[in-house]
Structure 1
Amino acid sequence: MEARMTVRPGAGLFWLFIAGVMQGAFPLPMKFASKWKWEHLWGWYSLLAFVVLPFVLAWLTVPHLDQVYTKASSQALWSIAAFGILWGAGSVLYGLGIDALGMALGFSIMTALTTALGALVPLAVLTPDLLFRRSGVLIIAGNIVTIAGVAVCACAGEQRDRQRDKVGAPILGPARSFTAALIICIVAGALSAMFNFGYAFGEPLVRSATALGATRDDALNAVWLVMLPAGGLINLAYCAHLLRKNASADLLRRGGTVEWSSGAIMAVMWTGSVIVYGWGANALGRLGPTLGWSLWNAILIGTTVFCGLATREWQGVHGRPIRWLAAGIATLVTGMFVLGMGVE
Structure 2
Amino acid sequence: MHALLGIIYHSLGGVASGSFYMPFNKVKGWAWESFWIVGGLFSWLIVPPIAAYLTIPGFFDIILASSSQIFALTFTLGLCWGIGGLTYGLGVRYLGMSLGNSVVLGFCSAFGAIVPSIYYNINPTAGKVSFTDMLASSGGQLVLVGVVVCLVGIALCGYAGMLKEGELSEEDQKKSVAEFSLVKGLVIAILSGILSSFFNFGIEAGKTMAESAALLPDYLFEGSSHLFQNNVSFVVILWGGLTTNLIWTTILSLKNKSYKDFGNKSTPIRNNILFSALAGTTWFLQFFFYGMGESKLGNGASSWILHMSTIILTANMWGIYRNEWKGVAPKTKWTITIGIAVIIVSVVIVGLGNAM
CA distance in 1, matches of 2:63, 2:272: 36
- Equivalent residue number for residue 87 of structure 1: 81
Q: Is residue 2:328 matched to residue 1:317? A: yes
CA distance in 2, matches of 1:259, 1:70: 36
Q: Which runs of 4+ in 1 moved over 6 A?
A: none
Compared CA separation, residues 31 and 67, structure 1 to 2 (3 A):
closer
- How far apart are 1:315 and its partner, in Å? 2.0
- How far apart are 1:122 and its partner, in Å? 3.6
> Which of 65, 74, 78 is the aligned partner of 2:72?
78
- Equivalent residue number for residue 61 of structure 2: 67
CA distance in 2, matches of 1:130, 1:244: 47
> Which of 303, 306, 323 is the aligned partner of 1:295?
306
> Where does 1:74-153 land on structure 2 (aligned, <5 Å)?
74-122=68-116, 125=120, 126-128=128-130, 132-153=136-157
- Equivalent residue number for residue 155 of structure 1: 159
**Once structures 1 and 2 are overlaid, which stretch shifts more, 324-333 or 123-132?**
123-132
Q: Is residue 2:71 matched to residue 1:55? A: no
Helix, strand or coil at the partner of 1:312: coil
Contact 1:72 1:208 in 2 (8 A): no
- How far apart are 1:212 and its partner, in Å? 4.3
- How far apart are 1:257 and its partner, in Å? 4.4
> Which of 183, 190, 196 is the aligned partner of 2:194?
190
- How far apart are 1:305 and its partner, in Å? 0.6
- Equivalent residue number for residue 210 of structure 1: 214
Q: Is residue 2:29 matched to residue 1:35? A: yes
| Alignment coverage as a number of residue pairs | 333
Contact 1:58 1:222 in 2 (8 A): yes
Structure 2 unaligned spans of 5+: 121-127, 219-224
Contact 2:95 2:185 in 1 (8 A): yes
- How far apart are 1:94 and its partner, in Å? 0.5
For residues 286-323 of structure 1, the C-alpha deviation after alignment (integer angstroms, 9 at most, x for no partner) is x2x11111011001101001101111112221232212
- Equivalent residue number for residue 222 of structure 2: none
> Which of 265, 268, 277 is the aligned partner of 2:281?
268
Q: Is residue 2:288 matched to residue 1:284? A: no
Contact 2:160 2:336 in 1 (8 A): yes
- How far apart are 1:329 and its partner, in Å? 0.7
Q: Is residue 2:229 matched to residue 1:225? A: no
Contact 1:85 1:231 in 2 (8 A): yes
- Equivalent residue number for residue 3 of structure 1: none
Matched residue type, 1:240: T
CA distance in 2, matches of 1:295, 1:339: 10
Contact 2:229 2:291 in 1 (8 A): no
CA distance in 2, matches of 1:47, 1:119: 29
- How far apart are 1:235 and its partner, in Å? 1.2
Contact 2:228 2:291 in 1 (8 A): no
What is the percentage of aligned positions where both structures have the same residue?
Answer: 29
Matched residue type, 1:312: N
- How far apart are 1:34 and its partner, in Å? 2.3
CA distance in 2, matches of 1:255, 1:90: 29
| TM-score normalised according to structure 1 size | 0.91
Helix, strand or coil at the partner of 2:136: coil
Contact 2:110 2:150 in 1 (8 A): yes
Compared CA separation, residues 78 and 53, structure 1 to 2 (3 A):
same
Helix, strand or coil at the partner of 1:233: helix
Structure 1 unaligned spans of 5+: 1-6
CA distance in 1, matches of 2:345, 2:310: 11
- How far apart are 1:63 and its partner, in Å? 3.5
CA distance in 2, matches of 1:309, 1:155: 18
Contact 1:89 1:231 in 2 (8 A): yes
CA distance in 2, matches of 1:210, 1:71: 15
Contact 2:94 2:184 in 1 (8 A): no
For residues 87-107 of structure 1, the C-alpha deviation after alignment (integer angstroms, 9 at most, x for no partner) is 111111000110111110011
CA distance in 1, matches of 2:227, 2:205: 15
Contact 1:36 1:255 in 2 (8 A): no
Contact 1:63 1:212 in 2 (8 A): no
Compared CA separation, residues 220 and 131, structure 1 to 2 (3 A):
farther
| TM-score normalised according to structure 2 size | 0.88
